[in-house]
Structures are given as C-alpha cells and as structure tokens.
Chain A
C-alpha cells in the first residue's frame, strides 16, 4: 500500500532556482494538500485542492504555485526559490471532507542556499 508518495525526498537549490515537488496518492481521495513544517511552528497549509481541477490558497501561499493534474496527482512549484522556503514539505490527502482525517506522505526536505 503506497498511500501518499512524494518526490524528491531531498533537494538543495540555490536562490532563484525553480523546482517542482511531486505528490501522488493511490487511495482515490478527493482532497489533497501541501503543508510546510518549520521548527516550533507546526504545519502550515500552503495550498489545497478539494477536487480535481480546483485549488485554493492556504495560510502561506506566497512564492508557491500548485497544479492538480488529475485526481491522483498534486504538484507544488517554487518558481524562484528563496532561503525562507527552506523547510520540510508534506503532501496529504483526505477521503471525505468534514470528518475525514489527513493521510501524509513522508515529506520532502528542501534547502535553499
């Protein structure tokens, strides 16, 4: 059972470079999410997608873009990376709005120099 798969697991970028974090889930979930985790700050929502073809901003969307490619895949793009985007990024999915819990990937550790 793969669940939620994120790639890459580690990435080092220079300031100004771009990259895309990929996420795929095989649980047929409708909703998908991107969070960032920073020490002492818990998880903060970047973007989410309630269904294929829709995306919405979360708490900290600046500097990021997302694409819900299909029901399985939800990618996060950094167009011009900044050191403040150094973080661990988690993708999550959710079967049912309201009461369903989030299922998380293992995370992608990004360092921007």
Chain B
C-alpha cells in the first residue's frame, strides 16, 4: 500500500539556520512527489513538485527538494530559514489515477 512518512512531528530551528525536513514514501512505481506548506488557518500551498528528470527541484520561497530513488526519499531543504517560514509542511505522493497520499506533517518553529 502507498504511504508517506514524515518522521519529525515538530522541528525548531533558529532564524538564519539551514533546514531539512524528511519525507519517505512507499510506492511501487515512479511517484509524483509534492511538498505543500500550510500557514495557520489557511489552505495548503504548493512549494514544489517532482515528476521526472533532474532529481533536485527548486520551488518557491527559496525551498528545494531532492528525490532519491534508492532511499525512497524526497527531503525538503532551505539554506537559511526566515521567521515567516514557520508553518506546517506536508509531503505528498501522487499515485494511481487520482489519488494523493499525504504525510502527517511537520510543524516548523523558527526561533528569533
């Protein structure tokens, strides 16, 4: 069965520090992979997506993610975190014809 695992429920980083959010997936075929961000009381906004080609993908707000097939991972990174990045981040796999599977989310707290 398809699944998405985000092992870190909460992460706290200092402003200006680097960030890496982990995502592992289980899916038999080549997946379509997404990272979304959710600010409090808001819907989900797409940060970036991977379908094929270059395994390092760039997104909005300075985020990037790397697809590693051998590790079934799609980790999200940012070199320098800003206070406005505090939010909840969701990894998702697009599978089958119309199904998306979401991880349980990672809440990011940014210390001044």
Q: Give chain A nearest CB distance to B102 CB in angstroms.
A: 4
Which residues of B in the span 5-47 have a Cβ within 8 Å of any Cβ on A?
Answer: 9, 32, 34, 36, 41-46
Q: Is the CB of A43 within 8 A of B32?
A: no
Q: Give chain B nearest CB distance to A79 CB in angstroms.
A: 24
Contacting residues, chain A, for B102 (C-beta < 8 A): 35, 42-44
Contacting residues, chain A, for B46 (C-beta < 8 A): 101-103
Q: Is the CB of A97 within 8 A of B98?
A: yes
In angstroms, Cα B45 to Cα A90, docked, is 12
In angstroms, Cα B94 to Cα A9, docked, is 27
Contacting residues, chain B, for A107 (C-beta < 8 A): 41-43
Q: Is the CB of B34 within 8 A of A101?
A: yes
Q: Is the CB of B97 within 8 A of A45?
A: no
B83 in the interface (beta carbon within 8 A): no
Q: Is the CB of B90 within 8 A of A42?
A: yes
What are 10 A-to-B residue pairs whose CB atoms are below 8 Å?
A: A33-B100, A40-B9, A40-B104, A43-B100, A56-B98, A92-B44, A97-B98, A98-B32, A99-B94, A104-B44
Known interface pairs A92-B44, A107-B41; 19 further A-B residue pairs with C-beta atoms within 8 A, sorted by A's residue number: A31-B98, A35-B102, A40-B9, A40-B105, A42-B4, A42-B105, A43-B44, A43-B90, A43-B100, A43-B102, A94-B98, A98-B97, A99-B94, A101-B34, A101-B49, A102-B46, A102-B92, A104-B43, A106-B42
